[in-house]
Structure 1
Amino acid sequence: MDVHQINQHLALRLVDLDDAEGLFTLTNTNRDYLKQWLPWLNGTKRVEDTRAFIHKAKLAYDDQKGMTFVILWKEKIVGVISYNSIDWTNKIAYIGYWLSAAVQGNGIMTKSTKFLTDYAFSHLNMNRVEIAAAVENKKSRAIPERLGFQLEGIRREAEWLYDHYVDHAIYGMLKREWDTKKKKME
């Protein structure tokens, strides 16, 4: 699955080295916004840093340990969504994402996360999908909540964010729960 067209304006495509400049520009444009919640911005100061990230993402894909997609909205890169890791032994996919502030409010991330959740269950044969978000990051937390994920708990001081720790809200969805939700949506 290299490209998946979700609707007329929205598609997911596996990240490629050709995306480095566009993805770096998007990161740089959204740097202050993203720094509120993501710990890797200080390590992404040049296009070469983004190339290194993409190279690592492609290796994870080749090793079947992760899948990273650029989010295309009206054919422009507006964010990233991924299986940050895939635990084949326990059949768990861990989803992470970020989106440009300029395009939020269009349902882009909810639709993208819905697609990756469904793909994890229907194509990767996962039993569980997990999403972690900083407790105070209400926009990020709204995605799994909108999709019916269960809030399973709070992981205290789960991530070092530049000069302080943040707690993470942990959301989970099981395959049997997703199958039930899908039937109700049809």
Structure 2
Amino acid sequence: MSALQSAALVMAAEEEHQGIDLFLPEPADLFWSLVVLVLIGVVFYKFVLPKMTAILDERSEKIEGGLAKAEQAQAAAADAREQGEALLAEARHDAARTRDEAREDGKAIVAEHRVKAQEEAARIAEAAQRQVEAERQAAAVSLRTEVGDLATQLASKIVGEELADSAARARVVDRFLDDLETQQTVAAGRASREG
């Protein structure tokens, strides 16, 4: 073929396709393009899409599992916080009860010691009273003896004879002291009537 013939063919081909026809492919090209597209679509649908779906499902399960775990953790934290608050409230209640019991025990101990102190004070006062009474009686006996001796000496000087007999001496002393006590009683009665 000559150059002329090929130029004529090119011209003929150019004359056949003009305008929008230049952009449209040949029907054979369309058919084979469609076959390749269907093959790629089938391969994608059969092999690639299930793997991508599995990966996406696995990720969504992980995300949902993570959300569920987060909700469980939040619920557990809320439960722990409520338990902690309940324990704290119980501890406060126990502490208040213990303080009240300690106060009551303290009051009971103070009252018990007060009663013991009063009993001890009463016992000491009673012992002191007994001791005072014993000392008073001892002083009275001593005084009676001394007064008796003085009275005996005085009576001996007045009577002019010595009272050697102890029985007679004791009678004289007793009579003298009885007279002295009678005089004191009469004087005290007069003072109380006048006062």
Is the TM value for this pair above 0.5?
Answer: no
Which structure's relative contact order is higher, taking Cα pairs within 8 Å and 6+ residues apart?
A: 1
Q: Which TM-score band (shorter chain)?
A: under 0.3
- Hey, which of these two has a bigger chunk of helix by percent? 2
- Hey, which of these two has a bigger chunk of strand by percent? 1
TM-score (structure 1 length as normaliser): 0.19
- Which of structures 1 and 2 has the bigger CA Rg? 2
